[in-house]
Amino acid sequence: MSVGLVIDELFLEHRSDEVHPERPERLLAIGQALADSGLGGRATRVPVRAVTDEELGRVHDAAIIELLEKNLPGRSGYLDGDTYYSPGSWRAARAAAAAAVDLVTAALSGEHPRGLAAVRPPGHHATPSRPMGFCIFNNVAVAAAAARAAGCARVAVVDWDVHHGNGTQDAFYADPTVMYVSTHQYPFYPGSGAAAEIGEGAGTGTTVNLPLPAGSGDAEYAAAFDEIIVPALRWFRPELILVSAGYDAFVDDPLAGMRVSTEGFRRMAGAVRAVADEVAGGRMVCVLEGGYDLRGLAEGVVATFEILDADTPAPPHDRKDIAHGARAAIEAARRALSPHIPALAQPGV
């Protein structure tokens, strides 16, 4: 079955007058790479629409939706020091959230079990009550909430963007039905995402943080996925896996200090695909977040798309030695989570 793909010129209308890393050229590079690889033609394009206030309201406070609706359309400015808006931003932001929702709907109906939303602005820093960090609405969180509203019992969000998705974590921190899993450079913007942050109340154990030191690369990410993330997902048994697919952990990214290669992103996507096939009926929807080196971004998206498009990709099995700091971070996550996720109790799975 073909992959559902959202990519649209409307997302280019979110643009800053000043030099800013979150720029329309990111999406143009992705579109060009998908076309050059011939993959774009294999996907089924899903049209864009505006998200409804009801869909946003499952995650975002009514007060912030109203405030943005009143102030953004047709105007330019800043929502925080990093987060610009331009006359087209309101339409782009509403379409980005709707794209993630529509690919979830298509996954749940079986029309397109797997999908990729190549959208801007990104979403994972936007909290229920405020835009921040280049993000206006939390696209992936709104999509997870849509899946729950459609009857999905358990939804997982895997966030491999180099930054911690504080907004997504906030939205579901006490919710046992949505597991949030993040690998991120730490300490780093936005400051959250310590291994001890594992959820609260009924949601204790369904937030999984892998705070990796700067300089971590393919081997460290592979270990985090194999030893913590995949076992945690198997234990949780989501009916749908969403991915906050950011490519700013790429070795040449100008904003961050990680060393992930394109093959490293392919491996992460393959690990998620394998667990989606095993426990989630193959339902996997990737939503674009960051990634500011245009080559790394475009190649990473193509590698991800190839995994989504493959019939049955082989799950990765290679293992390598990893840096001491990353080993300490993985063991810290294991210690924090193993009282709640028994599968994590034994090191060296």
Q: Which residues bind Zn ion (CB under 5 A)?
A: 161, 163, 246, 248, 290
DSSP characters over 207-274: EEEEEEPTT-BHHHHHHHIIIIIHHHHHHH--SEEEEEE--TTBTT-SS---BB-HHHHHHHHHHHHH
Minimal distance, residue 186 CB to Zn ion, in Å: 13
CB closer to Zn ion, 163 vs 267: 163
CB closer to Zn ion, 122 vs 270: 122
Choice among 125, 163, 164, 184 that is catalytic: 125
Would you say 208 and 228 are in contact if contact means Cβ atoms under 8 Å apart? Answer: yes
The phi and psi torsions of 136 (rounded to 5 degrees) equal -105, -65
Residue matched to tokens 């709640």: 340
Element (H, E) at 309: helix 294-309
CB closer to Zn ion, 162 vs 222: 162
CB closer to Zn ion, 97 vs 274: 97
* Rounded Cα distance, 134 and 92, in Å: 13
Minimal distance, residue 5 CB to Zn ion, in Å: 22
CB closer to Zn ion, 148 vs 163: 163
Minimal distance, residue 4 CB to Zn ion, in Å: 24
Q: How many CB atoms lie within 10 A of CB 323?
A: 16
Q: In the chain, what is the greatest distance between 2 CA atoms, to the nearest angstrom?
A: 55
Would you say 284 and 113 are in contact if contact means Cβ atoms under 8 Å apart? Answer: yes
Strand residue runs (E) in 59-206: 77-78, 84-85, 114-117, 155-159, 178-185
Query: Residue with CB nearest Zn ion?
Result: 290
Reported residue count of the chain is: 349
Minimal distance, residue 163 CB to Zn ion, in Å: 4
Whether 14 sits among the annotated catalytic residues: the reply is: no
CB-neighbour burial class of residue 62 (10 A; exposed 0-12, middle 13-18, buried 19+): exposed
CB closer to Zn ion, 161 vs 227: 161
Query: Would the CA dihedral through 93, 61, 56, 289 be positive or negative?
Result: positive
DSSP tag of 245: E
CB closer to Zn ion, 148 vs 259: 259
* Rounded Cα distance, 21 and 294, in Å: 10
Minimal distance, residue 161 CB to Zn ion, in Å: 4
* Rounded Cα distance, 1 and 291, in Å: 28
Would you say 173 and 202 are in contact if contact means Cβ atoms under 8 Å apart? Answer: no
Minimal distance, residue 254 CB to Zn ion, in Å: 12
Minimal distance, residue 78 CB to Zn ion, in Å: 18
List residues with catalytic annotation.
Answer: 125
